[in-house]
Structure 1
Amino acid sequence: MDVTTYPMTIGQLSVHRDVERMPEERLWEANLQPLVWDVKTPCTVDDVWTALTALAGRHESLRTNYVFEADGSPRQFLGAQDAEEVMARVERGVADISELPALLLSKHQSVLDIYHGIPWRAWVITEDGTPTKVLYVVHHIACDGAGALIMQDDFHALLAGRTLPPPAGQPIAMALDQQGAGAFRLRAAERYWKRTLEAAPRLASREAGTPNEELIGVTMQTGIPLEAAHAGAEKLDVSMATVVLAAYYHAVRTVLTRPAVLLTAISANRFDPSMAGVVTSLTQWAPMLFEFDGTQSFAELAAKVHGKALNAFKNSICDPDYVVNIREEYFVKADPPVDKGFSTNVILAPPGFAPAVEQTARTVEFATPQRAWGPGFYFIVSGIDRINVAVRCNRPDVDQEKVAAILDVFQETLLEVAGLPAME
């Protein structure tokens, strides 16, 4: 077997540094949320495996393993030389649709071996013997959310027998560029991180940052049609992602009465066409410091947030080892430490992706979150046709009442942008 190794990409190493901090019993949380693809082409089970075989051959990350050399350098290598070898080794099976709910839980909450094994598993889901869905579980180091959409489109095309052009890029080539011609971008990102954390608000004391042992979890179905929100964002001349960032900041500022907020957002890092089609993990945290006095209209706030967010995302590809060190310098060693702030992940379908739907009433439900690892206040906004929010919180200064109030302000702001009334 060819064991030639190459550097990890910045995105791969970023995921791995998170994995290293996870307790062994929580390592399954490094798996991407289970992907369930509808089978749109009449086919047999063997046809589905043929398409998945071609998918594994098309994207290197689906047959890549990872290793740390004796000197500690993080490396990657092709753990399977071709798609046929992948399919001979991968965990896979066939199940009736009645078994899908149990499979979703068990196959997601099971660790994938990214050092010696295949970094994904799949089940063909059938109804009366006919394939209707594919359950696909993949490790986050091999694929991020944007990459999952690329794989889904490729799978449908391959199953339908369409010929695809070569993929836009592969992780190994990307890693070599990042360590060579593209290294100047990493140095710029390091300077940006340091400037941002140096200016960020500090905690009142070291003890003020001690997380609560009990997590607060809440989900909110806003009932707001995504198309209406996109239309409102267009009138403000900003993206819907910017609207979410501005509304999130406004809600935290309003409820906690603090003008300065360190906010870290997940960046997909797919602005460059050479990176847009690569199936790997490119996501990293982009820190941004917002400090406005509240005298602006929301339109003015959104415009200011838009500019700051663009600068943050431009500098979001940063050496994760540098990020670990700079976080320790400001979040741990500094006296008083920097407030770790508030984190978010915005996963919204683009305009026109789904048919327009009617507004529905908002629902809010508190429950202990399934996942326990991650930021101290994590605000996840997602939507295909309507906008939904999930929050995980263990900040000592934010109780359930304040979480509810933050959601209330966020909801009110989105309704204003979408031009819709409240429906309770």
Structure 2
Amino acid sequence: MRVQETYPLTMGQLSMWSALAVRPPEQLWESNQELAWSVPPGTTVEQVRYVLTALAVRHESLRTVYLPADDPGGVRQVVLPDPVVRFAEESVREPFDLPREPAWRAWFDGPDAAPPRVHLTIHHIAADGAAARILESDFHRLLRGDPLDDAPTPREVADRQRGDAFQNRLTAAGDYRRRTVEAAPRTPVTRGPQVRACAHTGIPYGTACRAAQRLQVTPPNLLLAVYARALAATTGAADQLLWQLAANRLDRGVRHLVSSLTQWVPLLVRRGPDEALPAVAREVNVAAMRALRHGVYDPFAGPRQDFDHGGYFTFVPPPAGPDPVPSEVLPRRVEWLSPRAHSGASFYLMVRAYPHIQLHLRTMRDGYGRGEADRFLTTMTDLLLHAVREPA
């Protein structure tokens, strides 16, 4: 297809590109996301194709390819003028050829499935977690024929991030990131076999929210504080370098953008293993909010991200318009999971908040097997249970 112009990437897209640049070929698929959207009974294949095409017309990231450069930071994006809908079922392990094809594909179970679903595989450089939810919402609105406002574009955001008004922000974020990492203690890490587990804490999201309110912190930062406290308790180290995933969607102009905006931002927690949780939570709440102000940075302007330094953390919030939140605390249990993605952080905790708190742990550090993972998850669950059971 005819290419008219190329554009720079957003800082979030660049962060994803920098991570891809050091992966071996067999790990390139690991940034693929699997999505499944329910559709009303009777929806036809033709309707699904039409709406997916309209979705690609609406959101430029679904019509974008990425052109490498000799300087990795000089990669460019090209927005194709016409939508290309790859309507075929393929394994999530099939990587995308980013310079040659838009980074998504879709297929439909068919109207006779129960329930009928549209399935998507989409690369994280085209849509982060928040963008995936925007795509789902827009898909259903287009299917109903609802009117939609114009969608923001990644190239507009990329241009703003390179404008004079944004440069002080990028410089401050880079300085903050460098100072925080340099101040953190460094323990040599050797990668080992992967251990994955999910701790079903049984704690309802609403109960955790009330505990956070009592401690005057946000629910994500309560979980982040418990994470820091559990790391201190299980390692005996007072200082913990934590990396939280910054959504970078506070600005009104990017809240409905379909692209990759997320970046890892560090904070340093200096609290011993015997510190009371309320004190740790207050410190973490302030430090996390300060860190998020520096969530947009140029990943090629400083040292490359070291995924073996520190503990990584992601908070997955409840869906928009969720069902009523349960109040009963359920019995806890730990579920052991099969290995999956081997790229990225070697110690990574993802918290799914709704309807009950789940702690998804992945570790790839030598000497950290099931016993150590179970101890960490048990410690974190105990700390969280104690926090939610404290009297008001």
Return the TM-score normalized by structure 2. 0.92
Shifted more, 348-357 versus 20-29: the winner is 348-357
Deviation at 1:343, TM superposition (A): 0.9
CA contact (8 A) 1:251 1:406 kept: yes
CA contact (8 A) 2:43 2:111 kept: no
CA contact (8 A) 1:230 1:351 kept: no
Shifted more, 382-391 versus 243-252: the winner is 382-391
Instruction: Provide the residue aligned with 2:178 in structure 1.
Output: 194
- Whether 1:216 and 2:186 are equivalent positions in the alignment is no
- Could you say if the C-alpha distance between residues 70 and 375 of structure 1 is closer, same or farther in structure 2, counting changes exceeding 3 Å? closer
CA contact (8 A) 1:43 1:130 kept: no
Instruction: Provide the residue aligned with 1:28 in structure 2.
Output: 29
After superposition, where does 1:286-325 map in structure 2 within 5 Å?
286-293=265-272, 296-323=275-302, 325=303
- Whether 1:260 and 2:239 are equivalent positions in the alignment is yes
- Whether 1:274 and 2:243 are equivalent positions in the alignment is no
- Distance in 2, Cα, partners of 1:316 & 1:377: 20
- Could you say if the C-alpha distance between residues 231 and 354 of structure 1 is closer, same or farther in structure 2, counting changes exceeding 3 Å? farther
Deviation at 1:108, TM superposition (A): 1.0
Shifted more, 126-135 versus 15-24: the winner is 126-135
CA contact (8 A) 2:42 2:111 kept: no
After superposition, where does 1:97-246 map in structure 2 within 5 Å?
106-128=90-112, 132-167=116-151, 169-180=152-163, 181-203=165-187, 208-212=188-192, 214-246=193-225
Q: Secondary structure at the match of 1:274?
A: helix
Q: Secondary structure at the match of 1:35?
A: strand
- Distance in 2, Cα, partners of 1:71 & 1:202: 29
- Distance in 1, Cα, partners of 2:51 & 2:305: 43
- Distance in 2, Cα, partners of 1:284 & 1:117: 24
Gaps of 5+ in 2: none
Letter in 1 for 2:26: E
Instruction: Provide the residue aligned with 2:16 in structure 1.
Output: 15
Deviation at 1:296, TM superposition (A): 4.7
- Distance in 2, Cα, partners of 1:40 & 1:414: 39
State the percentage of identical aligned residues.
34
CA contact (8 A) 1:261 1:290 kept: yes
Shifted more, 396-405 versus 370-379: the winner is 396-405
Instruction: Provide the residue aligned with 1:335 in structure 2.
Output: none
Shifted more, 377-386 versus 290-299: the winner is 290-299
Letter in 2 for 1:384: Y
Deviation at 1:133, TM superposition (A): 0.9
Q: Secondary structure at the match of 1:209?
A: coil
Instruction: Provide the residue aligned with 1:62 in structure 2.
Output: 62
- Distance in 2, Cα, partners of 1:271 & 1:371: 29
- Distance in 2, Cα, partners of 1:322 & 1:252: 30
- Could you say if the C-alpha distance between residues 17 and 345 of structure 1 is closer, same or farther in structure 2, counting changes exceeding 3 Å? same
- Whether 1:345 and 2:314 are equivalent positions in the alignment is yes
**Partner of residue 381 from structure 2, selected from 400, 408, 411:** 411
After superposition, where does 1:378-393 map in structure 2 within 5 Å?
378-393=348-363
Letter in 1 for 2:277: F
Letter in 2 for 1:151: L
Instruction: Provide the residue aligned with 2:81 in structure 1.
Output: 81
- Distance in 2, Cα, partners of 1:29 & 1:41: 32
Letter in 2 for 1:48: V
CA contact (8 A) 1:6 1:75 kept: yes
- Distance in 2, Cα, partners of 1:399 & 1:39: 42
Letter in 1 for 2:43: C
Q: Secondary structure at the match of 2:77?
A: strand
Aligned length: 387
Runs of 4 or more, structure 1, over 4 Å off, are none
CA contact (8 A) 1:267 1:285 kept: yes
- Distance in 2, Cα, partners of 1:350 & 1:36: 15
**Deviation by residue 1:340-370 (Cα, 9 ceiling, x = unmatched):** 1111111121686232234322221334421
CA contact (8 A) 2:240 2:269 kept: yes
- Could you say if the C-alpha distance between residues 354 and 130 of structure 1 is closer, same or farther in structure 2, counting changes exceeding 3 Å? closer
After superposition, where does 1:343-382 map in structure 2 within 5 Å?
343-349=312-318, 353-357=322-326, 358-382=328-352
Gaps of 5+ in 1: 94-102, 332-338
- Could you say if the C-alpha distance between residues 384 and 367 of structure 1 is closer, same or farther in structure 2, counting changes exceeding 3 Å? closer
- Could you say if the C-alpha distance between residues 412 and 131 of structure 1 is closer, same or farther in structure 2, counting changes exceeding 3 Å? closer
Q: What is the Cα-based RMSD across aligned positions, in Å?
A: 2.3
Shifted more, 384-393 versus 244-253: the winner is 384-393
Whichever structure has more helix as a proportion of its residues is 1
